[in-house]
Amino acid sequence: MATILTVDDSPSVRQMIKLVLGPAGHAVVEAGDGSEGLAKAKAQSFDLVITDLNMPVMNGMQMIKALRALPSFVGVPIVFLTTESDDAVKQEAKAAGATGWITKPFKPEQLLAVVAKLVRA
Amino acid sequence: MELDPTETFRQEAADLLDSLETVLLDLGQTPQDRDLIDAAFRALHTIKGSGAMFGFDKVAAFTHDFETAFDLIRKGKIDANHDIVTVSLSARDYIRTLIEDPDSTDPIIGEAIVEELQRLIGGGASASRSQAAGTEAQSAAEPEAEEPAAAGWTIEIAFEPGILRNGTNPLALLDDLRSLGPCVVAADLGTVPELGALDPEACLISWAVTLESACNRDEIEDVFMFVRDEMKLVVTPLDARAPKFAALDMSMPDAVSRAGEGSTQAAMADAAAAAPPSTTRASLPAAAASPAPVAEKAELNRRGEDKGTTVRVQAERLDELMDRVGELVIAQARLSQIAHSGSDLAIKAIAEEIERLASGLRDSTMGVRMVPMGSLFGRFRRLVHDLSRDLGKPVDFVTVGEDTEMDKTMIERLADPLVHLIRNAIDHGIESAADRAQTAKSPTGRIELAARYVGAQVLVTVQDDGAGLNTARIRAKAEENGLIAPGAAMSEHDIHQFLFHPGFSTAKTISALSGRGVGMDVVKRTIEAMRGTIDLTTIPGHGSSVTLRLPLTLAIIDGLLIRVGEGRYIIPLSAVEECIELTAADEARAKGRSFLNVRGELVPFVRLRDLFDSEGEADPHQKVIVTSIGDTRVGLVVDQIIGSHQTVIKSLSKLHSDVTMFSGATILGDGSAALILDVAQLVTLGQSRAESDRTSEAA
């Protein structure tokens, strides 16, 4: 049971993440863009963050950098969602402080596998 | 109740496509606007990504090329021009049908759109396509390079020191390796310094793992996929491994692996100690009080207000709520009636309290049904864009008062009439660019769509700066159609009303868009069915404007309850001007003609008793309710005026669709029904009777 922050401007993606992770026993907190995600991350602690990269207001890359600058986020895994096959984006996000990624479109099993890989009881 | 994510995607995609349309239209005006380009890219990106996730594969595949195109625009490799905007608009429409009604789509259309895009952006997208194809080919080729299955593997693992900070947990990765088969893990602590020099956030341990498993190399590398670039990973098949190392591992397997894990755990614990969670939490309120985060918070709040927190509710549920509230208002009226006829003070007090609550609830419910006109206005931008292109008339489309709110059902019913009016304005109103040049007007026409509140009504105006109405031609056409006698004296305003006549068209040529003579009469009927009015004004050479005057809501009105014979009826209070008594003297003066002298002005009146064939004795003191629609007035003669009444409108059943004098029905406090008079129809009736009275008098 982990507390997971999901940041995506697409409500359907957030909903799907919630539908997959909720029944697996995780508590999912939603945010609609990077700055909302950052605000929520400052307000409570999380075991994992799953974020989109392309978002209005504050994009995922900026949010990951800001999260990594928070003392409370040292060692907290951050996973980003990407449709890009191109490695440059992954490199950039990793350099910003991301732990891993999930390639969109993903299946529920893939999401669960990544969460299980990064969140330990 | 959890919603189906597919349904959420449909709704989300519909919203995204709407905003994409707006963004593209804006982009047509300001092709360099970075925010617009980013917004278009994001919308396409989300539609593609989420589409693929929820099984809309065709949507994802089709959207791919446009996402790529906008990515190129975003990166400044190609420019967004008018043609790209136009083809993207077609693509947007195609995506919409792919999502909403995939069976009706024709792949040929989709291919044509993509081909057009490819032509416009040149090699850009096709290059990325072949690149994508290349990647696929490459990944397809990979399995061929697979090694024969080995009995096991040795894996040497060394991470970059910084990986702990970014959330990678080496122990979890070792666990993942264990899930592939039995492991022997040896930790190398050689690079770990003395405790005093230890950086608790650095990962300095490296590992050597012997894995007994028939798994292939990819499965092992997949375990480390997220950290592949921040580590040294050497995977060697067990057979090729030096026997010396095997002996070493066998000699002290468990102790070493435990030592390794223990020290890593210690490192992690230290890392946690370096940034104690309790300190972080305790410092939060203080941090929030410092100026910078406060400003940030204010910024967030402001944005929150801008966006508005919204909840999606199905329209039917809203209607259901409105029905319930309507029933509550009726029940409350009955309660009030009983309470006030009795003498129980406690019941009276409760009845008043419930009346207050019910009217509050009614107002809030109506408020929930209110939507800003902007949602409707947005649709017309596309219409104007397309019409202006098809007709070759450049047009600026200006909207005013988008935040004016109206009942959502009204807004939906307003869409078709407005489409007609805007089409007319472009097709007939705005002159061709050549004609405009001759009159020293700007070559670009202007159409303004405006909405504003006037009392409990909303005025919606469609105004163009075209040539204005040709009164002479309308008159000639009316004479030709036998609507007026040649040379009859008529005001310009009255002549213009012929435009609302069924089958009336003065267009010289019938275009595909308008000029078929259907339209304006339908518009007028629709608006009147919404208890609204329509008016036309024109200034020759400077344009014309059509004004729609509409009530804010259709569901509940203030009515005047009256009695005619045994029946009770409702007259919408908005149409009532005044109530006067029909004295015997008036009757005598009228001499059988139905005219009433209201402060020196002759107003025709209609006896509702006659109209409804009422039985029983007429009340000796007949009352006249003077009602008006626009500038025309008519008196309605009734037996008794009971008082004002909050009227929840129930529509008449289809059986009564041919009834013209009533626009609906309502339930009264005592549970009986009352019909609602259609004042517009009665005014027309009164006027036509007055007309025949005049002619019979003339004869």
Interface mutation vs chain A, best among B226, B227, B294, most A CBs within 10 Å: B226
A-facing residues of B in 283-322 (CB < 8 A) are 284, 287, 293, 296-297, 299-300, 303
Percentage above 90 pLDDT, chain B: 5
d(CA B319, CA A29): 32
Q: Express each pLDDT in B265-294 by its tens digit.
A: 444 444 444 444 433 333 333 333 344 444
Which is more confident, B689 or B345? B345
Please give the DSSP secondary-structure letter assigned to residue B650: B
pLDDT the model gives residue B563: 92
pLDDT(B562) > 90: yes
Tokens representing B212 are 């007994």
d(CA B81, CA B85): 6
Segment B361-383 mean pLDDT: 84
CATH code, A3-118: 3.40.50.2300
A-facing residues of B in 464-493 (CB < 8 A) are none
- C-beta atoms of B165 and A74 within 8 A: yes
The sign one gets for the Cα dihedral A84, A88, A91, A92 is negative
Residue type, B273: A
Segment B148-161 mean pLDDT: 78
Q: Which of A12, A83, A100 sits opposite B54 (nearest CB)?
A: A12
Interface mutation vs chain A, best among B2, B17, B46, most A CBs within 10 Å: B46
Which is more confident, A84 or B667? B667
What is the number of other CB atoms lying within 10 angstroms of the CB of residue B689?
Answer: 16
Question: In this complex, is the C-beta atom of B144 within 8 Å of any C-beta atom belonging to chain A?
Answer: no
Which is more confident, B514 or B345? B345
pLDDT the model gives residue B363: 80
- C-beta atoms of A78 and B166 within 8 A: yes
3-state secondary structure B61-74: HHHHHHHHHHHHHH
Domains in chain B, ordered, with CATH?
5-136 (1.20.120.160), 148-272 (3.30.70), 318-369 (1.10.287), 371-551 (3.30.565.10), 557-698 (2.40.50.180)
Please give the DSSP secondary-structure letter assigned to residue B547: E
Question: In this complex, is the C-beta atom of A77 within 8 Å of any C-beta atom belonging to chain B?
Answer: yes
Which is more confident, A109 or B418? B418
Give contacts of B275 with chain A, Cβ < 8 Å. 71-72, 74
Q: pTM of the prediction?
A: 0.48
How close, in Å, is residue A31 to chain B by CA atoms? 12
Q: Which of A13, A45, A70 sits opposite B53 (nearest CB)?
A: A13
Extended strands (E) in B525-681: 533-539, 543-551, 556-564, 567-572, 576-582, 595-598, 601-607, 622-629, 632-638, 640-648, 662-667, 673-677
Q: Which of B3, B132, B167 sits opposite A76 (nearest CB)?
A: B167
Give contacts of A94 with chain B, Cβ < 8 Å. 166, 229-230
B-facing residues of A in 20-49 (CB < 8 A) are 35-36, 39, 42-43, 45
Torsion on CA atoms A36, A39, A44, A48, rounded to nearest 10: 50
Closest of B149, B138, B148, B159 to residue B223, by C-alpha: B159
pLDDT the model gives residue B258: 43
pLDDT the model gives residue B554: 63
Least confident of A77-91, B15-29, B87-101, B530-544: A77-91
pLDDT the model gives residue B128: 44
What is the number of other CB atoms lying within 10 angstroms of the CB of residue B471?
Answer: 15
Least confident of A38-42, B168-172, B561-565, B674-678: B168-172
Closest of B668, B628, B612, B671 to residue B644, by C-alpha: B668
Size of interface A-B (CB pairs under 8 A): 120
Give contacts of A100 with chain B, Cβ < 8 Å. 225-226
Q: Which of A75, A105, A118 sits opposite B52 (nearest CB)?
A: A105
How close, in Å, is residue A25 to chain B by CA atoms? 16
3-state secondary structure B398-453: EEECCCCEEEHHHHHHHHHHHHHHHHHHHHHHCCCHHHHHHCCCCCCEEEEEEEEE
Confidence tier at B694 by pLDDT (50, 70, 90):
low
Question: In this complex, is the C-beta atom of B272 within 8 Å of any C-beta atom belonging to chain A?
Answer: yes
pLDDT(B302) > 70: no
Question: In this complex, is the C-beta atom of A62 within 8 Å of any C-beta atom belonging to chain B?
Answer: no
Q: Which of B9, B38, B164 sits opposite A75 (nearest CB)?
A: B164
- C-beta atoms of A120 and B169 within 8 A: yes
SS3 state of residue B18: helix
> Partners of B667 in the beta sheet?
B673
Q: Which of A10, A71, A74 sits opposite B50 (nearest CB)?
A: A10
How close, in Å, is residue B224 to chain A by CA atoms? 10
Confidence tier at A94 by pLDDT (50, 70, 90):
confident
SS3 state of residue B378: helix
Which is more confident, B698 or B562? B562
- C-beta atoms of B176 and A117 within 8 A: yes
